[in-house]
Amino acid sequence: MNVITNDQLRCTIALAVLQDVMDPEIGLSVVDLGLIYQIDFEEANRQLYVSMTLTTQFCPMGASIVAAVKRAMENTFTHYTVIVTLTFTPPWNNERISEAGSAFLNQ
């Protein structure tokens, strides 16, 4: 799982917080599923950008997962405006699942 970032320390904090944001259908966090592609902090405008995906474009829980990611980041980085972008490029695949996630899923 490689998350692109311009601030490794704050990205580590963000990923720790996002461990609590679960995909309710699978029972794994968005981090362990590898749904988070990029987290960047723009100091000039105090904006935090999260680029993420879903396991499928037709995920019935997609809107609530994205909202939960946004809420978690807003609650942690209170002085930033959080912008979450959903992308399907590159498409998600199960190779993005963390070791812990694979163990949970018995893969």
Provide the whole-model pTM.
0.94
Neighbours of 14 (CB within 10 A): 23
CATH code of 93's domain: 3.30.300.130
Q: Is 106 inside any structural domain?
A: no
- Please, which pLDDT band fits residue 1 given cuts at 50, 70 and 90? low
pLDDT tens sequence across 3-54: 999 999 999 999 999 999 999 999 999 999 999 999 999 999 999 999 999 9
Q: Is 57 inside any structural domain?
A: yes
Residue 21's domain comprises 4-99
Q: Is 81 inside any structural domain?
A: yes
Number of domains present in the structure of the chain? 1
The full length of the chain comes to 107
Q: Is 104 inside any structural domain?
A: no
Q: Is 65 inside any structural domain?
A: yes
**How large a percentage of the chain has pLDDT more than 90?**
90
Q: Is the pLDDT of residue 106 over 90?
A: no
Phi-psi region of 106 (alpha: psi -120 to 50; beta: other; left: phi over 0): left
Q: How far is CA 88 from the centre of its chain?
A: 13
